C-alpha cells in the first residue's frame, strides 16, 4: 500500500485519469507506473468527480478496471461484490453501456474463479445489451 500512498500524494485527479486511460484502453489492470492497489484507491477518489461531471462511460470503464485489478490480486469475492454493485448502479441509471460493462466484470470474475459456464452467460447477456443498444441508436428516426 506504500506505493498507493505515494501515488495518491503525487497526482491530481487529472493526472490519475491520464495514467489510467491507457490501462482502460488496453484492458490491463496494472502497469509499471500504477499498481493494482492504486487503481482501487484512485477509483474511490475519481468516482464522485466522474459522477458529478456525468462521465458515465469512463466511470463504468474504471469500475471494470477495478474489478480486473481485484481479480489479478486474487480477491474474487470482493471482485464479484464490486461487479454486482456496478450492475445495480447501471440498472438504477437505466444505462445500457454500464449494464454491459458490469456483466463483463461479472463474467471476468466467474471465468477467473473457474466457473466458465456462468461467465459465458454473463458475456452473452452483455453482448445482447450492446447489440440492442446499437440497433436502437443506429435506427433511422421517422418524424
Q: Could you please report the per-residue DSSP string of 31-91? A: -SS--HHHHHHHHHHHHHHHHHTT-HHHHHHHHHHHHHHHHHTT-HHHHHHHHHHHHHHHH
Give the three-class secondary structure for 12: coil
- Please report, in tens digits, the pLDDT of each residue of the chain (143 residues total): 444 444 445 568 888 888 888 888 887 777 878 888 889 999 999 999 999 999 999 999 999 999 999 999 999 999 999 999 999 999 999 999 999 999 999 999 999 999 999 999 999 999 999 999 877 776 554 54
Distance CA 60, CA 40 (A): 13
pLDDT of residue 138: 64
Instruction: Tell me the C-alpha distance between 58 and 14, whole Å.
Output: 13
pLDDT of the residue at 140: 54
Structurally, what CATH architecture does the domain formed by 2-138 represent? Alpha Horseshoe (1.25)
Amino acid at each position: 500500500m506504500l506505493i498507493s500512498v505515494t501515488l495518491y500524494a503525487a497526482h491530481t485527479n487529472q493526472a490519475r485519469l491520464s495514467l489510467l486511460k491507457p490501462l482502460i484502453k488496453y484492458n490491463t489492470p496494472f502497469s509499471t507506473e500504477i499498481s493494482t492497489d492504486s487503481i482501487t484507491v484512485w477509483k474511490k477518489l475519481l468516482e464522485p468527480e466522474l459522477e458529478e461531471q456525468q462521465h458515465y462511460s469512463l466511470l463504468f470503464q474504471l469500475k471494470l478496471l477495478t474489478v480486473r485489478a481485484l481479480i489479478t490480486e486474487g480477491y474474487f469475492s470482493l471482485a464479484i461484490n464490486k461487479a454486482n454493485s456496478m450492475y445495480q448502479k447501471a440498472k438504477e441509471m437505466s444505462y445500457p453501456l454500464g449494464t454491459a460493462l458490469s456483466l463483463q466484470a461479472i463474467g471476468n470474475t466467474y471465468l477467473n474463479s473457474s466457473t466458465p459456464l456462468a461467465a459465458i452467460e454473463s458475456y452473452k447477456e452483455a453482448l445482447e445489451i450492446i447489440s440492442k443498444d446499437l440497433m436502437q441508436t443506429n435506427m433511422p428516426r421517422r418524424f
